[in-house]
Amino acid sequence: MGNKSKKIVENLLNQAGIGINGNNSWDIQVHNNKLYSRILSGGTLALGESYMDGWWDCPNLDQFFTKVLRANLGVMTLGIRTLIWQFLKACIINPQNKVRAFIVGEKHYDVGNDLYKLMLDKRMNYSCGYWQTADNLDDAQEAKLELSCQKLGLKPGMKVLDIGCGWAGFAKYAAEKYGVTVVGVTISKEQKKLAEELCQGLPVEIRLQDYRELNEKFDRIISIGMIEHVGRKNYREYMKVARRCLKDDGLFLLHTIGGLRSTVMVEPWIGKYIFPNGMLPSIKQLARSVEKLFVIEDLHNFSAYYDTTLMAWYTNFVANWDKIKNNYDERFYRMWVYYLLSCAGSFRARKNQLWQIVLSKNGIIDGYISTR
């Protein structure tokens, strides 16, 4: 069975030009021959866990994933039992309901502000940068913030809601540069703590609050990298909350990672170790969720920039690991490397997208002027 499993995996990888124990930077180096049967029985979850366990390595994991995903290899959809269980669980329950909403905050965003300070840009943006004219992470993230403010048409004195405010990168920038008042909501205690420190003296309020509790009016709403935690069963309610909180002449900017097809569940490894209960919306799912609630004024795809952003985060993480390694362990290090580089490979393969969508309640009478 061992040799048979190896042959199956070897043939699959050959379709993507990937070798086993080869000399290319994208070839995998196998340290445990039980790897092949483990992958065939456990699919992507086993692929990630076996890497965390040190069963295999690859000099350039991002290149490995780019090749695997571009080739549409069946190895990425194996582990049928795991997939069936994930599918049934997603259909039966609402993994992102109000009771479970804070799980991802505790599991991922509370993992340590020390890590994120060293990995992210100086403004602590944990989302895709805008690299059109930028050549470093700080400039790319500031360009994204400026782009977002311009798309919203911010003016001094406006009241802005930031759903999923993170460490207040947008809130701080908008308050400083555009003279607006911002209310930011997060489900992470650690984010709230640091965000309040960073925004001291500014008209910024940070709340530890579920978005479903919001019921007040704002001139503008922004949500950057939040709806990926909302789940398909809650997209409609999320949009209803945004509508009831937006003034009639307001604008809502939704910034989200997106999938190429509609799904009911997250990728198993990402769901278990990185973003519990996460889910990438498709254009179809988003369109259904805004029907009769919003007019789509603008849609901007700059997903290729997420590859660059993730590689910059990876570089920072590896370069600063010695400063924080006493707070974590080697398995966490391998998990985090796998997370950053597998995601970079996915964006490079164009399997994941990044959209900024501008929405209005009633349509802009003279038309919305797109900003790029």
Query: In the prediction, which pLDDT does 110 show?
Result: 64
Query: In the prediction, which pLDDT does 278 show?
Result: 83
* pLDDT(276) > 90: no
Per the model's pLDDT, the better-predicted residue between 290 and 76 turns out to be 290
Report residue 119 as tokens: 């990995």
* pLDDT tier, 73 (very low <50, low <70, confident <90, very high otherwise): confident
Radius of gyration of the chain (CA): 21
Share of the chain above pLDDT 90, in %: 80
For the stretch 244-269, pLDDT in tens is 999 999 999 999 999 999 987 778 89
* pLDDT(275) > 90: no
Query: In the prediction, which pLDDT does 92 show?
Result: 46
Is residue 343 part of the annotated active site? The answer reads: yes
* pLDDT(315) > 70: yes
Share of the chain above pLDDT 70, in %: 89
Mean pLDDT within 240-246: 98
* pLDDT(87) > 80: no
Sequence spans of domains, the chain: 2-78, 100-303+352-360
* pLDDT(84) > 70: no
d(CA 211, CA 187): 9
Domain 100-303+352-360: which CATH number of 3.90.1150.10, 3.40.50.150, 3.30.10.20, 3.30.43.10: 3.40.50.150
Mean pLDDT within 5-24: 94
Mean pLDDT within 207-227: 96
Under 8 Å between Cβ of 180 and 156: yes
Neighbours of 21 (CB within 10 A): 10
* pLDDT(54) > 50: yes
* pLDDT tier, 164 (very low <50, low <70, confident <90, very high otherwise): very high
d(CA 77, CA 174): 42
* pLDDT tier, 89 (very low <50, low <70, confident <90, very high otherwise): very low
Report residue 370 as tokens: 């797109």
SS3 per residue for 54-75: CCEECCCHHHHHHHHHHCCCHH
Residue among 361, 349, 236 at smallest CA distance from 288: 236
Residue among 120, 165, 64, 147 at smallest CA distance from 314: 120
Residue among 10, 13, 2 at smallest CA distance from 37: 2
Task: Report the chain's mean pLDDT, rounded to a whole number.
Answer: 91
DSSP classification of residue 152: H
* pLDDT(112) > 80: no
* pLDDT(74) > 90: no
